[in-house]
């Protein structure tokens, strides 16, 4: 059985962007996978990576589920879905699970999807715990190993050294093959990084919307984001030590250098892609 199984075709897709978010190392508070899943809700199934040789099922266990009164097994899924936006870019995205094994092969399969659909840009979505307050706009940072693209976007090349997730090998491989690839990372408050964070998911999804030029469902997270922030604020106010820590983070945040806005980043990426096409 092939490891990359195609179930659909991307015929007629408009200048597609490929987005990848994987539950695991790079998905604090489930922000990245939540954003990616909402972006492709209702899209067309395109391809999937067979899980058999990529997972230790004693660590990422299949789930027994009942469907139409019959028991079946649901396996860890890395499925690519096509969302036709009707705007300047269609979206092919995978909201999946970071594999345990054969990372180089997994990266090659993702690259094969990107090449087959004619992707103009690959975006990896992630979220990391950081010293940021819950009460401010969610910082979303960008990085790329492509120095020309980094200069164009006004962002720094990656400077992190240390253990990495599968996103690291994926960026390396795509860079070697000349495919533009950018990492977008939401920074989530370290003191609430374990629970789902709809505010951070919305921030990532808004960046995808600006890149694609079309709504992808970020507005549907507004109520959940407001409720999440109110719950966290109530817990912080009730704890004097937490309150003092968060107020200090707020002062540091307000005095820091702002990162490029989502609109600025999207505009520069679009200009870069048009130049690559000679458009």
Q: How far apart are CA 9 and CA 116, in angstroms?
A: 10
Number of domains in the chain: 1
- The per-residue pLDDT for 116 is 97
- Residue 197 confidence (pLDDT): 98
Of 231, 28, 35, nearest in space to 134 by CA: 231
d(CA 12, CA 86): 11
pLDDT at 158: 73
Query: Which CATH number do you get for residue 204?
Result: 3.40.50.10900
Q: Domain span at residue 166?
A: 4-277
The per-residue pLDDT for 279 is 52
Tokens of residue 46, six digits: 């395109």
- Which pLDDT score, from 0 to 100, does residue 137 have? 94
Summarize pLDDT for 88-118 with one digit per residue, the tens: 999 999 999 999 999 999 999 999 999 999 9
pLDDT of residue 260: 64
The CB-side HSE value for 214 (13 A sphere, CA atoms) comes to: 16
Q: What's residue 261's pLDDT?
A: 66
| Three-state secondary-structure class, residue 198 | helix
- Give the 3-state secondary structure of residue 55: coil
Which residues in the chain land under pLDDT 70?
258-262, 276-279
């Amino acid at each position: 059985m092939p490891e990359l199984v195609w179930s659909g075709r991307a015929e007629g897709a408009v200048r597609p962007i490929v987005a990848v978010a994987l539950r695991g190392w790079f998905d604090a508070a489930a922000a990245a996978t939540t954003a990616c899943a909402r972006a492709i809700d209702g899209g067309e199934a395109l391809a999937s990576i067979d899980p058999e040789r990529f997972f230790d099922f004693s660590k990422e266990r299949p789930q027994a589920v009942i469907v139409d009164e019959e028991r079946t097994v649901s396996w860890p899924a890395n499925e690519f879905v096509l969302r036709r936006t009707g705007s300047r870019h269609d979206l092919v995205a995978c909201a999946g699970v970071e594999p345990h094994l054969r990372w180089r092969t997994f990266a090659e399969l993702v690259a094969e999807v990107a090449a087959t659909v004619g992707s103009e840009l690959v975006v990896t979505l992630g979220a990391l715990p950081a010293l940021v307050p819950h009460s401010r706009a969610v910082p979303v940072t960008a990085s790329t190993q492509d120095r020309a693209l980094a200069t164009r976007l006004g962002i720094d090349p990656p400077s992190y050294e240390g253990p990495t997730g599968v996103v690291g090998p994926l960026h390396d491989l795509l860079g070697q093959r000349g495919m533009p690839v950018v990492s977008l990372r939401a920074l989530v408050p370290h003191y609430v990084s374990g629970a789902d964070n709809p505010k951070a998911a919305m921030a990532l999804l808004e960046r995808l919307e600006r890149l694609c030029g079309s709504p992808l469902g970020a507005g549907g997270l507004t109520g959940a984001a407001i409720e999440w922030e109110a719950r966290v604020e109530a817990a912080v106010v009730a704890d004097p030590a937490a309150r003092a820590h968060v107020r200090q983070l707020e002062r540091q945040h307000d005095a820091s250098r702002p990162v490029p806005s989502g609109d600025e980043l999207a505009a520069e990426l679009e200009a870069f892609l048009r130049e690559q096409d000679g458009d």
